[in-house]
């Protein structure tokens, strides 16, 4: 056995896998039906198994017999081209790994506090119902039930002094399907409802099974922002019946901001909230010049450039779930974005917009490793606060 050539073939296999993962990530960012996406995913499933077999058999055991002492000089032009493509994938893997290692939160994040609560422990059992993905939810070391309750404080130069201290509950990607029982979401909602907040924002992917629409009043219905609750839908809602979902959420008092904006006047400062469900539904909202601060709810972070062009100050997104499974050093692997895993989750500053991407609370596949579900309370701080009249959210 030629161990050096074995390592080389394993590197080529890693490169091939990286390319097919990139293919899945980018095709799943497109507004395609579930059936089409499943067919595209099957191509990935076949190729990440077939190509390694071809490399081991075609190069390692036959042809140039690299694993048996053969020489790379005996490769045909076809195999050199094949190897070259896999090497490109290997270079991409190195780039992504280095990017993940070097990634740091922007300076706008001035404080973060986190508490992890095991919802299964609070309920006395894992809140799972028999169904298609039951076994995934029951896998050992699955972090699906370990919810991270975050408070993140951002200081923004664009924030008016009147809005200093404004608090926003950002929740996203709850994926009501039935595998995770209603008790899971009710427990999280109960915990969130205990702390007052100025604004509640939901950034899409609520329903994966229409039978779960009836869960909305006992979950989202428990959350109340002082200045209101605002929502948009996501691609999984689009796969279902978005009109029915939208009506059900609106019926409990939430404000639908999809493709439009609403204005809140807080201590004489105008906060404008817009919603963007593209590329699956609607259009990008148009912000007006009178806004002192612009807040965008956008399901996918892929629309960051559009937000920057609209001079959005704070963009809240979800969709990518942090990858749900993160590998040591490499980080997230699967992320349905045209940018791959770059915006899987986290905080990004691309002037003039601060982007916050939630890992979400659930997913169609209830599987989490090194990527806990999260809910986040955001507190905004102004750079300079007028001493005459500071804003005190929650106090009338």
What domains can be seen in the chain, in order of their start residue?
A: 3-102 (no CATH), 109-382 (3.60.21.10)
pLDDT tens for each residue of 96-136: 999 999 999 999 999 999 999 999 999 999 999 988 899 99
pLDDT at residue 395 above 70?
A: no
pLDDT tens column, 129-175: 988 899 999 999 999 999 999 999 999 999 999 999 999 999 999 99
- Dist CA 32 CA 23 (whole Å): 14
pLDDT band, residue 394 (cuts 50/70/90): very low
| pLDDT score recorded for residue 373 | 98
Residue 281 CB coordination number (10 Å): 20
Q: What is the pLDDT of residues 277-328, one digit of tens each?
A: 999 999 999 999 999 999 999 999 999 999 999 999 999 999 999 999 999 9
Q: Which residues pair with 381 in a beta bridge?
A: 155
* Residue indicated by tokens 């955001």: 378
pLDDT tens readout for residues 183-230: 999 999 999 999 999 999 999 999 999 999 999 999 999 999 999 999
Res. 389 pLDDT band, cuts 50 70 90 = very low
pLDDT computed for residue 385 by the predictor: 60
pLDDT value at 388 more than 90? no
CA dist 42 → 21, 23, 39, 351 (Å): 12, 12, 5, 39
Q: Check whether 349 has a pLDDT greater than 90.
A: yes
Contacts 24+ apart (CB under 8 A), 342-345: 342/99, 343/301, 343/302, 343/304, 343/317, 344/320, 345/320, 345/321, 345/371
pLDDT at 390: 46
Sequence-distant (≥ 6) Cβ neighbours of residue 166 within 8 angstroms:
159, 198, 199, 266, 271, 379, 380, 391, 393
The confidence band for 396, taking pLDDT boundaries of 50, 70 and 90, is very low
**What are the C-alpha distances in Å from 40 to residues 26, 30, 50, 111, 338?**
11, 12, 16, 42, 15
Helix (H/G/I), strand (E/B), else coil: 154: strand
pTM higher than the cut 0.85: yes
Query: Tell me, what's the pLDDT at 1?
Result: 82
pLDDT class of 386 with cuts at 50, 70, 90: low
Nearest-angstrom CA–CA distance, 284 and 306:
8
Contact between 367 and 136 under an 8 Å Cβ cutoff? The reply is yes
């Amino acid at each position: 056995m030629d161990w050096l050539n074995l390592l080389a073939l394993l590197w080529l296999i890693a490169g091939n896998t990286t390319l097919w993962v990139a293919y899945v990530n980018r095709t799943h960012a497109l507004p395609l039906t579930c059936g089409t996406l499943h067919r595209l995913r099957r191509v990935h499933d076949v190729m990440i198994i077939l190509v390694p077999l071809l490399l081991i058999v075609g190069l390692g055991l036959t042809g140039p017999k690299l694993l048996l002492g053969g020489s790379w000089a005996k490769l045909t032009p076809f195999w050199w081209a094949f190897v070259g493509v896999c090497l490109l994938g290997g270079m991409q893997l190195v780039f992504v790994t280095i990017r993940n290692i070097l990634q740091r939160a922007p300076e706008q994040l001035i404080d973060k506090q986190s508490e992890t609560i095991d919802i299964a422990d609070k309920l006395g059992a894992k809140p799972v119902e028999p169904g298609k993905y039951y076994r995934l939810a029951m896998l050992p070391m699955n972090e699906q039930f370990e919810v991270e309750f975050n408070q993140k404080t951002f200081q923004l130069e664009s924030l008016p002094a009147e809005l200093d201290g404004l608090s926003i509950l950002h929740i996203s990607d709850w994926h009501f399907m039935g595998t995770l029982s209603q008790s899971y979401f009710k427990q999280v909602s109960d915990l969130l409802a205990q702390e007052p907040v100025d604004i509640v924002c939901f950034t899409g992917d609520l329903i994966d099974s229409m039978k779960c629409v009836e869960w909305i009043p006992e979950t989202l219905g428990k959350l109340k922002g002082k200045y209101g609750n605002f929502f948009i839908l996501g691609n999984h809602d689009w796969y279902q019946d978005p009109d029915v979902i939208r009506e059900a959420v609106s019926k409990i008092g939430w404000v639908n901001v999809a493709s439009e904006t609403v204005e809140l006047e807080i201590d004489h400062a105008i906060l404008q909230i817009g919603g963007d469900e593209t590329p699956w539904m609607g259009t990008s909202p148009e912000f007006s010049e009178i806004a002192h601060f612009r807040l965008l709810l956008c399901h996918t972070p892929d629309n960051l450039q559009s937000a920057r062009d609209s001079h959005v100050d704070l963009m809240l997104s979800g969709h990518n779930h942090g990858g749900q499974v993160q590998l040591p050093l490499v980080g997230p692997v699967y992320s349905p974005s045209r940018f791959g895993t770059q915006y899987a989750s986290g905080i990004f500053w691309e002037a003039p917009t601060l982007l916050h991407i939630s890992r979400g609370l659930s997913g169609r596949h209830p599987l989490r490793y090194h990527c806990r579900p999260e809910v986040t309370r955001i507190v905004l701080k102004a750079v300079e606060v007028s001493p005459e009249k500071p804003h005190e959210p929650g106090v009338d």
